[in-house]
Amino acid sequence: MVDDPNGLASDELGDDEIDVTPTRALFVEMLTRDLLLNRAVIDLVDNSVDGAKRLRPERDQRFDGLEISVTLSSDAFRITDNCGGIGIDLARRYAFRFGRARGMPATPGSVGQFGVGMKRALFKFGHGFEVISTTATDHFELRVDVDEWELEPGPWRFVFDTAETGLENPAAKTGTRISVSPLRADARAQFGNPAFVTALTREIQSAQQQYIDRGLLITVNGRSLIATPWKLIQGGGIEPHIVEDVLQLPNGVVQRRIYAGLGDSMPQAAGWYVFCNGRMILEADQSRATGWERGDDPEGVIIPKFHGQFARFRGYVFLDSDNPALLPWNTTKTGVDADTDVWRNTYAKMRSIMRPVIDALNRLDAEKEAPANARAIEIALRNSSPKSLRSLTRLGDFVVPSKAPGPKPPPWTSIQFSRPKSKVDQLKTAFGASSNAHLGELLFDSAYDEHVGE
């Protein structure tokens, strides 16, 4: 029997025992297998954002002056922040442990809750990494050659190259710098690929929208990301649905805000947006996950499968908690964990809340068949404008103008046909019509007067 460098020496093993210690290589492989590179980068950005939140913990506090910078190329990956740094104690007990040790408190309202993000990302990216961090009192430097570490025998550990505590570092000097090189083959290929970097930039911008909006500066390869605040249409008799409540759960409290209403007609932007502790985990979702049902019957008012006429639908769900374990995100923060109590309850609320909006959009669609002055919602839309969620303060139900009372207007229909262009142009000139549609209207009205009469 060959002694496994990771396991017990065979003489330490009793006759009735089997050594089941995993090899480090297997562990690294398992830990990183399903992780996408872009998610791993976003995980690291999340950690820095958590640092910013530890520095400025008040809800909605500004983050001006705090900065996270990500640099990636086919040679190396680096993320630097000035968000308070990782203390030696935190590094030993949490940041470099695999899994959160029991009793280790979470950052209130944090995003990185699983205690695996950073290590997983570092292993995923490269064969070696370096972490240098400075807090108000501590400074450490840690360099790990992953290939060597995988072969090391005995207990699993990383060794600090430098670890000082009891210092008095100025606040401006605090922060963390993580560098990875040399990169593994897939990271080398992707990090050097401009399309990957562009997509990643957009993802970070979306995911961290809330924080960028609050003044946090995030740059990717030197380009700073900008916030495009989430908006809903308001005015002209249109009001979005806005509800805020607090869910009291056995292990803590979840603050919930749900916004739903109309936006500009953009199919790719329509749907539900779900945020956990400010981090976007679903973007413009138009799937079953957020209540869109598969149905081929447009009759009646259901929550239909997402369809073109709903390109104006927008919904935003914000779930915040000091105890991130209560939030319904999956481990990669790319979607919701549908089995959680908070999500089951929120999903039911979303389904209820979206119905009047869908109803209004069906009406808007039907208004195409109505005379121009009977198009209540279309008229309202002209007198409204998109407002950022922050500026919307009225709590209450979704409102759109109701149908005008009075007899149902006769339905309208459109006529479409083709004729040789030269003939059409001649007739247009003869009638002094400004467009084909105008010509058609003139011809129709004159034919109607002549053959049908008033």
Positions that interact with other proteins (CB under 8 A): 247-250, 293-297, 299-303, 341-342, 344-345, 347-349, 351-353, 355-356, 358-360, 397-398, 402-403, 405-408
Tell me: cis bond preceding 324? Omega within 30 of 0 counts: no
Beta carbons within 8 Å of 66's beta carbon, 6+ residues apart: 52, 55, 56, 81, 82, 83, 215, 216, 217
**DSSP string over 374-394:** G-HHHHHHHT-EEEEGGG---
**Pairwise CA distance, residues 279 & 49, whole Å:** 10
Least Å distance between CB 204 and other proteins? 32
| Closest to other proteins by CB, 173 or 288 | 288
When the beta carbons of 287 and 332 are compared against other proteins, the nearer one is 287
- The C-alpha R_g of the chain, in whole angstroms, comes to 29
Considering beta carbons, is residue 19 or 359 the nearer one to other proteins?
359
Cβ proximity to other proteins, 42 vs 303, nearer residue: 303
Identity of the residue, 52 or 361, whose beta carbon is nearer to other proteins in the bound complex: 361
Q: Around Cβ 385, how many Cβ atoms within 10 Å?
A: 12
Q: Which residues contact 195 (CB under 8 A, 6 or more apart)?
A: none
Both structure tokens of 198: 């562009």
Q: How far is the CB of 95 from other proteins (least distance, A)?
A: 32
User: Toward other proteins, which CB reaches closer, 408 or 451?
Assistant: 408
User: Between β-strands 279-285 and 313-321, what pairing exists: parallel, antiparallel or unpaired?
Assistant: unpaired
Question: Which contacts (CB < 8 Å, 24+ apart) does range 288-294 have?
Answer: 289/335, 289/336, 289/338, 290/315, 290/347, 290/350, 291/347, 291/350, 291/351, 291/354
Longest dimension (CA), the chain: 109
Question: Measured from the CB atom, is 176 or 362 closer to other proteins?
Answer: 362
Q: How far is the CB of 298 from other proteins (least distance, A)?
A: 11
Nearest to 27 by CA among 152, 114, 112, 186: 152
Closest distance of CB 247 from other proteins, Å: 5
Give me the least distance between CB of 403 and other proteins, in Å please. 4
Nearest CA among 153, 156, 174, 20 for reference residue 99: 156
Q: How far is the CB of 303 from other proteins (least distance, A)?
A: 6
CB of 292 to other proteins, least distance (A): 12
Distance of alpha carbon 219 from the chain centroid: 18
44 or 360, CB closer to other proteins?
360
Task: Give least dist CB 284 to other proteins, A.
Answer: 22
248/414 with CB nearer other proteins: 248
Give DSSP secondary structure letters for 299-343. Answer: SSS--PSP-GGGTTEEEEEEEEESSGGGS-B-TTSSSB-TTSHHH
- As measured in angstroms, the least distance from the Cβ of 346 to other proteins is 8
